[in-house]
Amino acid sequence: MLQRLSVALHRCRASSLGLVRWVSSGSVNISEQLNFWAGERRSSTQKSNVENVYEPATGRVLCQLHECGPEDVNEAVNNAKSAFNCWSKMSGLERARILIEAAHIIENRREEIAQMEVVNNGKSITEARLDVDSARLCIEYYAGLASTLSGQHVQLPGGSFAYTRREPLGVCAGIGAWNYPFQIAAWKSAPALACGNAMIFKPSPVTPVTAVLLAEIYAQAGAPQGLFNIVQGGQETGRLLCQHSDIAKVSFTGSVPTGKKIMEMASQGVKPVTLELGGKSPLLIFNDCGLENAVRGALMANFLSQGQVCSNGTRVFVHKDILPEFVEEVVKRTKLIEIGDPLLETTRMGALVNRPHLNKVLSYVNQAKKEGANVLCGGEVFVPSDPKLKDGYYMTPCVLGICTDEMTCVKEEIFGPVMSVLSFETEEEVLHRANDTNLGLAAGVFTRDVRRAHRIVEHLKAGSCFINNYNITPVEVPFGGFKMSGIGRENGQVTIEYYSQLKTVFVEMGDVDSLF
């Protein structure tokens, strides 16, 4: 998920000229604790639940994850409660100063954080830098909003009046996904902290390494001890957070099945939730499009972060009149995508996140073949020439042709570098097919006809829509889905409403008018 790409890539190229390589693939061993509360890294009291964490680029063990249990979660929550009592009493301007300082620290440590994100996740260094930029911009944006939070004055008869106060919720829980570990931690924490809340964040156990860097940065910036805490673990740790009586709200990014479970657990305490879940998004390409931009958009809609993006437009509907030309160009450019060591500047596609996920994505390609799809390119295991990368989780990006709406590859979220191309003839037909899904995270349309573009977007059942571009997510703009793709929004001014609550106060200036 990207800011304006041309500006960001220009900055990447300019800044990369004098970069210091902090790490190289296969060289990192992490022995530090990955939990954080009470202002420092902490060890878990749970000694039995230990899992290996792997480096996607090499397949080697990167570190071990010690799951947090009830005692750890309680300690983190108590620390967060203490910090909340202090933080919530600060003015918005005071909170903004600390958030701005955190953003400055992120900017100064940009390359270090980006390289650790590559080791953590497997995506290319170019994309990781953009993710760090998005995290910083998000914190800067909500720092700007922190001092603008306000209520409303309502004049009533007889000189009486009412007013509203926008107040923080308390201690919020954030549960992250493995595809954007550092960025998601910032996207959830920035609006929460700007509103005066504290937060406990649980990263994905697959990518636990970089969220703790953000916790250290907030602490270094001057945040009260315990304001942003990290607890590591899997489902059980997540359950402890969702069901904890002192957690006021849960924000989750991940799969639909897990989102349903979190919603159910949170409902036991009648807690508000924000859910950013899966997608199977359509990309509609009409015969009057600018073909060059449409091809670029389709590649951006499918192959960012090795295709591991919830908003990806993986159902690419192409008008039959331009289908052969479009497919030829997409396949040609897909074959040219540089795969390999994600820490190299020339790499454009790194490793998938782990071995089970790689096998799952490859199984979808095999299933597509059985169901009649034509593999136009890719869809195979890729072994880089560098010997240290031979056990990494790489595959060639795949384009599937002759796809139909009933195929598994078209109906189910693959979450990998697999594009399904479908043909259409009329606007009415493609709209019906595009909306024929229980998901509705994103959608896009390429056309030169402005009236058609807005007409299409009006009828697309998706929360985030793109006209003549795709997967651009500036932090000023709300992001979220319709239907089973989620509840609530991240980013934009509206997110303030999801991390605060409204209190109404009535003030009587006369005598009580009583019926008794």
Q: What is the tens place of the pLDDT at every residue in 207-257?
A: 999 999 999 999 999 999 999 999 999 999 999 999 999 999 999 999 999
Half-sphere exposure of 142 (CA within 13 A, CB side): 32
**What are the tokens at 431?**
């709209």
Q: For residue 368, what are the domain limits?
A: 282-484
Q: How many domains does the chain have?
A: 2
pLDDT (mean) for 415-421: 98
Secondary structure (DSSP) of 229-267: EE---SHHHHHHHHT-TTEEEEEEES-HHHHHHHHHHHH
Same domain, 246 and 299: no
Best CA proximity match to 183, nearest among 137, 125, 227 = 137
Question: For the CA atoms of 303, 202, 107, 345, what is the dihedral angle to 10 degrees?
Answer: -30
Same domain, 158 and 136: yes
d(CA 55, CA 207): 9
Q: Alpha helices, DSSP H only, in 88-124?
A: 92-108, 110-121
What pTM, to 2 d.p., does this model score?
0.95
Secondary structure (DSSP) of 281-331: -EEEE-TTS-HHHHHHHHHHHHHGGGG--TT---EEEEETTTHHHHHHHHH
| The pLDDT of residue 20 is above 80 | no
| The pLDDT of residue 365 is above 50 | yes
Identify the three-state secondary structure at position 131: helix
Query: Does residue 28 lie within any of the structural domains?
Result: no
Condensed to tens digits (0 to 9), the pLDDT of residues 98-108 reads 999 999 999 99
Best CA proximity match to 380, nearest among 357, 402, 400, 397 = 397
Sign of CA dihedral 438, 439, 445, 450: positive
| The pLDDT of residue 16 is above 80 | no
Q: What are the beta bridge partners of residue 487?
A: 275
Condensed to tens digits (0 to 9), the pLDDT of residues 462-514 reads 999 999 999 999 999 999 999 999 999 999 999 999 999 999 999 999 999 99
d(CA 171, CA 37): 13
3 state SS for 44-91: CCCCCCEEEEECCCCCCEEEEEECCCHHHHHHHHHHHHHHHHHHCCCC
Query: Does residue 324 lie within any of the structural domains?
Result: yes
Same domain, 259 and 403: no
Beta strand 442-446 with 282-285 is parallel
Query: Does residue 13 lie within any of the structural domains?
Result: no
Query: Does residue 7 lie within any of the structural domains?
Result: no
d(CA 392, CA 390): 6
Same domain, 242 and 337: no
When pLDDT is cut at 50, 70 and 90, the band that residue 26 belongs to is: confident
**DSSP H helix total and E strand total for the chain:** 15, 22
Same domain, 217 and 103: yes
When pLDDT is cut at 50, 70 and 90, the band that residue 18 belongs to is: very low
Q: Rounded to whole angstroms, what are the CA distances from 462 to 234, 244, 435, 456, 472?
A: 30, 33, 8, 11, 15
Query: Does residue 1 lie within any of the structural domains?
Result: no
d(CA 10, CA 135): 18
Percent of residues in the chain assigned helix, strand, coil, to nearest 5: 40, 20, 40
Chain centroid offset of residue 438 CA: 20
Same domain, 316 and 412: yes
Best CA proximity match to 375, nearest among 407, 350, 339 = 407
When pLDDT is cut at 50, 70 and 90, the band that residue 7 belongs to is: very low
The answer to whether the CB of 272 falls within 8 A of the CB of 443 is no
pLDDT (mean) for 341-366: 98
Beta strand 482-483 with 61-66 is unpaired
Same domain, 271 and 294: no
Same domain, 172 and 272: yes
Q: In degrees, to the nearest 5, what angle opens at C-alpha 26 toward C-alphas 20 and 28?
A: 65
Same domain, 256 and 326: no
The answer to whether the CB of 208 falls within 8 A of the CB of 285 is no
d(CA 4, CA 130): 10
Identify the three-state secondary structure at position 447: coil
Query: Does residue 389 lie within any of the structural domains?
Result: yes
| Amino acid in position 205 | P
| Residue 134 phi, psi (nearest 5) | -60, -40
**CATH number, domain with residue 361:** 3.40.309.10
Query: Does residue 24 lie within any of the structural domains?
Result: no
Query: Does residue 223 lie within any of the structural domains?
Result: yes
Condensed to tens digits (0 to 9), the pLDDT of residues 368-413 reads 999 999 999 999 999 999 999 999 999 999 999 999 999 999 999 9
| The pLDDT of residue 11 is above 80 | no
Catalytic residues: 276
* Mean pLDDT (the chain, rounded): 95
| The pLDDT of residue 9 is above 80 | no
pLDDT at 19: 53
Same domain, 476 and 493: no
Same domain, 251 and 297: no
Same domain, 253 and 110: yes
| The pLDDT of residue 345 is above 90 | yes
pLDDT at 3: 60
| CA distance between the termini of the chain | 62
Condensed to tens digits (0 to 9), the pLDDT of residues 281-324 reads 999 999 999 999 999 999 999 999 999 999 999 999 999 999 99
Identify the three-state secondary structure at position 482: strand
Best CA proximity match to 397, nearest among 466, 351, 342, 345 = 351
**What are the tokens at 38?**
């009470």
Least confident of 9-13, 140-144, 364-368, 452-456: 9-13
**CATH number, domain with residue 200:** 3.40.605.10
| The pLDDT of residue 1 is above 80 | no
